[in-house]
A = this chain, B = another copy of it.
Amino acid sequence: MLYLVGLGLSDETDITVKGLEVVKKASRVYLEAYTSILLVDQSVLEEYYGRSIAIADREMVESNSDEILHNAKSEDVAFLVVGDPATTHTDLVIRARELSIPVRTVPNASILSGIGACGLQLYNFGQTVSMVFFTDTWKPASFYDRIKENRSIGLHTLVLVDIKVKEQSIENMARGRLVYEPPRYMTVGQCAKQMIEIEDEKCEGAYTSDSLAIGAARVGGKTEKFVAGTLEELCSTDELLGPPLHSLVLLGRRTHELELEYVREFAVDKLKWDRIWKKDYAKQL
């Protein structure tokens, strides 16, 4: 059996009792470590589980999944995923099906629901978008049209931000040196800047630098932190937010009084927040 086990969002104790039982009795344990991270190190997990863990990087999961699935018809293999394993790694599940390996998922908290702690109604979120690190020559902006669609019907948008782990520099790659760059985690500030950059380029009014948003850090953890403000304000609140992981929510017009009351607690400038809320958000739908 292949078990996809969600680890939740924060530390070693966020695993479910069911998930912990699976990890303890599995023949092999893999940790998917390239789409998200926990706020604790692998060694903490290994000690807590009493098991050693093999790190599954993108290459192993996408090109070498038969290694993970080896013998899984007769043995139990645990594949650990930060957050919730739902819909991630569909390719792995489809491959397991082809090999007639039974698959079971052990759900856990996801950023898609954990973000509700910021006080916005989860029911009013539209599609989720991802923001990657821009380079001088590569600024993928597919997020823009999606946000525009969400906002056209009044919905909030969760923006998940890029992480880069186990990346090689072009030079090291060219020379075949297996030396990896230090991991990089996008901040809310970088995300907000890139959003404003694309709006300035496209000028289609999907949002403005005065649009209201919430910066989130370490959602689901003890040091969880939210900061609310305009996109422009969020360009310079990274220090307030602290260490990764970050994510950002751009507000839609379909807002509720209860949401206001809850979210304004996080506003960097409450009077400005109230003013823009009243003008552009309250009772728009």
Which A residues are within 8 Å of any B CB, using their own CB?
A: 6, 8-9, 11-18, 20-21, 84, 86-87, 90-91, 93-94, 97, 105, 107-110, 112-117, 119-129, 149-150, 152-155, 220, 258-259, 261-262, 265
With known contacts A87-B121, A90-B262, A108–B109 Cβ distance under 8 A:
yes
Copies in the complex: 2
With known contacts A84-B109, A86-B116, A128-B122, A17–B13 Cβ distance under 8 A:
yes
B-side contacts of A259, CB under 8 Å:
90
Bound-state CA distance A237–B223 (Å) is 46
Bound-state CA distance A74–B15 (Å) is 28
With known contacts A122-B87, A123-B127, A17–B20 Cβ distance under 8 A:
yes
Q: List 19 A-B contacts (CB under 8 A).
A: A13-B17, A14-B16, A14-B17, A15-B17, A17-B20, A86-B113, A86-B114, A86-B122, A90-B119, A94-B258, A107-B117, A107-B220, A108-B109, A109-B110, A110-B110, A123-B128, A123-B129, A127-B155, A149-B154
